[in-house]
Structure formats: C-alpha cells, structure tokens
A and B are shown apart, each in its own frame.
Chain A
Amino acid sequence: MRDDLRLDGVGRRYGLRGPWILRGVDLAIRPGTLTRVEGANGTGKSTLLRLLARVDAPTEGRVTGRPRTAYVPERFPAALPFTAVGYLTHLGAVHGLSRPAAARAAGEWLERFGAAAYAATPMTALSKGSSQKVAVAQALLAAPELLVLDEAWTGLDAGTRAELERAVAERIAGGGAVVFVDHDPHRLAGAPDTTYTVRDGALERRTAQDSPTPSGPHVLVEAQGPPDGRLPVAGHPGVTSAEEIVPGTHRLAVRASHSDVVLRVLLTARPPWHVARVSADPVDADARRAAHGSGPDRPGHDQESPR
C-alpha cells in the first residue's frame, strides 16, 4: 500500500433526502494493520466498508488513497455462468494477475479452502458455503493491499474459518491492511490493532480497556536463537507471551491463526532461528484468560466453544 487510505469528515446517505447513514467519519488505514469494525445490525458497518473499498463514493467529505483492494461480501450469489475456477481466473485477471498466474492462484486458493473438488463445478451448482469459499478465494488471489471482509466468515465450515484467519494473518504480515466486520467477538480476538464501533452514524474508537484479553486456541513454540539474539517476533501481534526458559531458548505462546506467520518470521530471520518444538498449548485459553484477570465468559469451560 503506497499511501494510507484516509477518510476525512466522510458522510454518506442514499438519495437526496435520505437519512444520514454515517456522518463525520475520520479514519486512516495504515499498511500492515488489522482493523475491526463493530456495531449492531443496520448501523452502517457495511456502508463504512463500502466506502473503504471505494465502491461507494461519500456524499460529503473526502476519501484519499487508492490501495489495490479486494472485498468479500457476506453472501455471495452463485448465479454466475462460470465454473468456480473459471470465475476465479477472470477475477484474478481483473485484480491484475496474468491469466496463467490467475489460473494457478485460483487452483491454489481453492485447494487451501478445501474446495479443489469443486473447481470445475458450475457456480450455480455450488452450496452456499462453497460459493462463500469462492468469494473469499477471489479476494485473496492477488495479495491485495487492502482486504475488506464484510462478515466473510458467515457460512464457512470450521476448518475454512480457521484457514481464513490464517490468511488474514499472512496478509498483514505481508504488509497488507485488513478491515473486517464479524459478529463473533472471538474472531481474531486480540489481534486487531484498532477496533471501531459504529453507533448512531458516528465512529467511536474502542479503548484498550474494553478489548477482550487474548483468547482462543494457542500453539506453543520453542525456538533457539544465537546467544544474546533479540527475539525477531518480539511484539508481534500473533505472540501472546514469550519467556526465555534457558539462555538462548524461548518459549512462545502464539495465536493459532498466526502460528505459520510467526514460524516463517523465525525461520527467515537473519541469522535464522531454530524451531526446536511446536506443540498444542496445554494451558487452556480459559486458564490464560483467568491468569490475565477478567474476560468475557464463554460457555463450555474446558473445551473450545463452537464458533
């Protein structure tokens, strides 16, 4: 993203005399950040996302910056006369890839989301969840500078939901910006750099105290670095805690969605770190939350609650 995407005093209403959906919105999206937008139904979250994706022009105020953008709608219609891979190849080309590169990326992303079997299926024959996978794949094909997700997780199965969280973490690690709306408060919990709430047509920045403590599944990583080496992932949004258990060996608690990204940073550091051990976190997320003090209660104490 060459420059930030900025909204200055932006307002939007539909029609000449329609009510203001949003008014006086100031917002900047910086590269490499994750932004969450919250709000009750019908408060204008989707309108805000449409303004950020620049598919809607503001009625007043100014939007500046034009990153390469991809958008995922909450419901993706299957009424398109293409096969899944045919549609994705067209969209990849629209996103700026060459056709061979677009076809390759289409195959890869369908495979990542477990939809490779539907690649040659006409879009009209896809189930709701499978067409949502196509919508998500479409957005990730060309590694966009800005990814806008409007309840993109709706209708996806558990495996694909986790895969999409990982893809979001990768996109941010790759320098892209991601803005998302989701009604599940645990979606990418703790990872967003900024959380905004849309209320009465205005945007409120959530303060740190309101943010839920990091929760959700974690992975333990033990890594060995050079003596006196600085941990290359210190302060990384995916790393919840880090301790030096013996000199030169660190044990990290890493958000499951960010484990691949963190491992990649460790392995590609200069000099590279040695990953000695990766294991599931025996300390349950609930226990961590208890250790951190307060946090939203979740049903199902010992097992991970269904999302």
Chain B
Amino acid sequence: MTALIRYQAALLVRSQRWLPPFILYAAFLAVGVQSGQPVLDSVGYAAAALLPVAAWLVRICVGGEPPAARTCVAAAAGPARAHLACLFVALAAAVVLGTAATVVVTLISDPAGTDHRTRVPMLQAGGAGLLAALVCALLGTAVGAVTNRPVLRSTGRAVPVMLLAALLSMVTTGSPAQAAVSGLVTGSRTGRVPLPLLPLAGAAVLAAVAIAASCALTARRSP
C-alpha cells in the first residue's frame, strides 16, 4: 500500500494538476479572510471553502492516470487497493492544504469574538478550526468519491453533480460540514470555542462508506 500511495502522490505532485484548486482556494481565502477579523469566523470560512477543493482533488487523483497505466497498476495491486490509494492521496492533499490554511488564518486573525471584545483563546480556536477543516476534507472526499469514476464517468455529468453535491453538503442542515462550520460561527458570537467531535465522527463515517462503495465498484464498471 505504501508503494501505491507513493506512486499516486508522485503522480499528483508531478502532474501539477493540483495547482488550479490550490490557487483557487488561496484566492478564495484572500478575498474572504483579512487579518484582524474574528478568528473563529475566519477559520470557519477557510474550512467551508475546503470542501469543494477536496472533491476536486479526488477528481484529479482518480482521473490522473491514463486507463492503460491504471490497468497495469490494478493488475499488480488489485483494482480496489489502487483506487483506495487515489482517494487517500486526495484526502491527504486536502488535509495538508486545510491545515496550512487554518494555521495561517489563525495566526493573522484577531483572537476575539464577533464583537471584538470577548477574548477567544487562540490555540483552542486553531484546534477547533483544524477539526472543522478535517470534517470538510473528509466530506469533500466522500462527495468526490461518489461523483467521479467509477460512479460517474462522463465529465458532463460528473462535474455539475460534484459541484452541486459539494454545495448541498455545505449548506444542508444535518450535514457534518454545515454543523462544524455553523458551530464555529455560533462560537464566535458567544465567545465559546466549540469542539466539533460529533460532526467529525459523522464525516468520518460518511467518507468511509463513500470510499468503500467506490472502491468496491471500481472493478465492476467498464474501463
């Protein structure tokens, strides 16, 4: 599995296809986050924006290899394991990006509530932001896993469905990402740092189910 992950990671890094989502995410943060803003609002914003980026990274990773090369790897390692490595690398890239963004945003933000008077402990706020980012990365990976190969294979269907699913999982009440982000926003108003463990558990379960389903399906669909 290590060799597979290393291969997929090298494929992602060297293909440079990670660049557009990374740049878009950076631009999104540059527009929405300014230094001196309340920390919990800003890390919530950074986490929310990570969800579609994570789904996009999945799309890049599962479609990065030409089909013949994919078959060579699938024959050697098994198609499900090869697909799992793709999804793992996408999730890892999203987590790395989300962690870096949350750390930077935490450092430049004002450690205070929305009213700029209530003190919010910086370390705890950063921790809550990291957990929310992880929730969004997991949920984005789940969305990407069920809206790309092997589930949806034509670009014309996969991209709109993926973007719509990413948006819905961000705003629908009851979604772990929505719960984590709105928890941060509410916490900013009350001055109490939330600990989004329940959304994290929910996102982990959803991601596991989506990843397992997509790996199980990969040998059953046409190449």
Contacts and interface: CB of A to CB of B under 8 A. Distances in A.
B73 A50 contact: no
Contacts of B16: 81
Interface stretch (A65-73, A228-236, A269-277): A65-73
A23 interface: no
A81 B7 contact: no
Nearest to A138: B72
A94 B69 contact: no
A15 B71 contact: no
Kindly state the interface size class of chain A when it binds its partner: 20 to 34
Contacts of A54: 75, 78-79, 219
A75 B67 CA distance: 10
A76 interface: yes
A95 B76 contact: yes
A82 B10 contact: yes
Nearest to B77: A94
B219 A56 contact: yes
Interface residues of B, number: 28
Contacts of B77: 94
A139 B72 CA distance: 8
A270 B67 CA distance: 47
B193 to A, nearest CB: 42
Contacts of A208: none
A71 B14 contact: no
A15 B75 contact: no
Q: Which of B66, B75, B77 has the most chain A CB within a 10 Å cutoff?
A: B75
A192 B67 CA distance: 29
Contacts of A91: 7, 72-73, 76
A55 B71 contact: yes
Contacts of A144: 76
Contacts of A15: 222
Contacts of B65: 80
Given A71-B71, A79-B66, A91-B73, A57 B10 contact: no
Given A56-B219, A95-B76, A96-B3, 18 more contacts: A15-B222, A50-B71, A54-B79, A55-B75, A56-B79, A68-B76, A70-B75, A71-B76, A73-B71, A75-B68, A77-B66, A80-B65, A80-B69, A90-B6, A90-B7, A90-B10, A94-B7, A135-B72
- 9 closest pairs, A vs B, by CB? A71-B75, A93-B3, A77-B66, A81-B14, A73-B68, A14-B222, A57-B219, A55-B74, A53-B75
Interface of A: 14-15, 50, 53-57, 59, 68-73, 75-77, 79-82, 90-91, 93-96, 135, 138-139, 142, 144, 148
